[in-house]
Amino acid sequence: MLPNKHLFFEFCLHIANLKLYLHPANGYGALAQLVEQWTENPCVPGSIPGGTTKNPYISKDFFVFGLILQKTTVLTVIDANTPLEELQNYLLSKEWLDAAEKITAIEKPGEGNMNVVLRIITDQRSFILKQSRPYVQKYQQIKAPVDRIAVEKKFYQAVRDNAVHAHVPKIIGFDASENLLLLEDLGNCKDMTYIYQKHAISNGLLDRLIFILGLIHRKKAPSDFPENMEMRQLNHQHIFELPFLEDNGFQLDDIQPGLQELSLQFKTDKKVRKIVKKVGKKYLKPGNTLLHGDYYPGSWMTEAENLYIIDPEFGFVGFPEFDLGVMAAHVIIATGKKGYMKRIHAAYQGDADLELMSQMAGIEIMRRLIGLAQLPLDRTLKEKSKLLKKARKLILSP
């Protein structure tokens, strides 16, 4: 069912790799505020310096809702301000440090919004500590399913005896009660969102990304792999519902003047909407393939010649065309070339329905251009219009 302004419902945001929940019973001011908070952070992928709204209005209900959410807290809250000694004692108590090992520094390994992600440096090594909270770490009034960290761990575990293991961080420790995952430090990686600025992706990297995705998909998912339904519902709203609502409260003209008008012909296209609905339903159904769930340039990391895949917190067992379509969408957004669809389909080692994959890619392109989850994409309105038309073709006549 589509969100109704007059009902009490949960309204979700998934912005680039930022996933948010909010409650808009008093209108959409809070939504605007969150978009503002997110977009004005120059460090976040997809951010827009200066933000997107001029006078954001936050309803009181928004804060009340936030306070209720914050009642659920993790046992040991660790962040960049945790004193080294406290962290040292905590990690020692978990036997994650050698008795003689001393923490010398904590640093932020890169940008993230959802979770606490820290690099712990000791006198012997470094590792990554990732902790999920029942809210989005950067915007703590916003609810998010805390067990997403367990999904991430299950995913890394599921692929560890397969060639994918060379492309994901090793698990060093996991504490379900603290929602805490300790991971191998992959070094000074950079994510591949640079392809949007470069308007290109190297053939070598693309082939490796397709190959790794095939490996993940061929891995038999354990029967107890989490459904991850809350995260999927969150994503469902942001991929298949909100971008196609005429009145979703998001001011596209604040991103780029004229974008709102441009978006209308795609939002109101009945044929497009019918397919979006069909694919969206499939996304929420069980499938038979282990998916990464967020296979886009923000999850692809390079470090020298190495290629890593991180952040599988949206993983689930579903249909392979979801990951494939999302991947193809981002390559097409970056390069402007629809031909990558067939190229990716042909190189993929596995069975995939080209029509479904194209539909998924078209939907992903549209939602990244006219939805809330904007990318760091410097394109003219004309270029966006061309991309949207390509997306419509992918959806309607793959």
- 255 is an interface residue for ligand ATP by CB under 6 A: no
Site for Mg ion in 299-338 (CB under 5 A): 311, 313
**Cα(249)–Cα(97) distance, rounded to whole angstroms?**
49
From candidates 29, 56, 110, 336, binder to ligand ATP by CB under 6 A: 110
Q: Which does 186 bind (CB under 5 to 8 A by kind): Mg ion, ligand ATP, none?
A: ligand ATP
The DSSP call for residue 170 is P
- 373 is an interface residue for ligand ATP by CB under 6 A: no
For residue 285, CA distances in Å to 154, 228, 384 come to 20, 11, 32
- 293 is an interface residue for ligand ATP by CB under 6 A: no
**Cα(84)–Cα(107) distance, rounded to whole angstroms?**
11
From candidates 129, 143, 156, 191, binder to ligand ATP by CB under 6 A: 191
What is the rounded (10 degree) CA torsion for 285, 289, 291, 296? -100
From candidates 113, 131, 141, 263, binder to ligand ATP by CB under 6 A: 113
Backbone angles phi, psi at 132, to 5 degrees: -95, 155
- 168 is an interface residue for Mg ion by CB under 5 A: no
Q: How far is the CB of 109 from ligand ATP (least distance, A)?
A: 4
> Taking a C-beta distance cutoff of 8 angstroms, is the pair 146, 109 a contact?
no
**Between 74 and 347, whose beta carbon lies closer to ligand ATP?**
74
Give the bridge partners for 289, in sequence order. 318
Binding mask 114-133 for Mg ion (x = CB under 5 A): x-------------------
**Cα(36)–Cα(169) distance, rounded to whole angstroms?**
33
Site for Mg ion in 7-66 (CB under 5 A): none
- 17 is an interface residue for ligand ATP by CB under 6 A: yes
CA atoms within 13 A of residue 284's CA, in its CB half-sphere: 14
Q: Which does 254 bind (CB under 5 to 8 A by kind): ligand ATP, Mg ion, none?
A: none
* End-to-end CA separation in angstroms for the chain: 27
Summarize as ranges the residues that interact with ligand ATP (CB under 6 A): 17-18, 109-115, 117, 128, 169, 183-186, 189, 191, 298, 310-311, 313
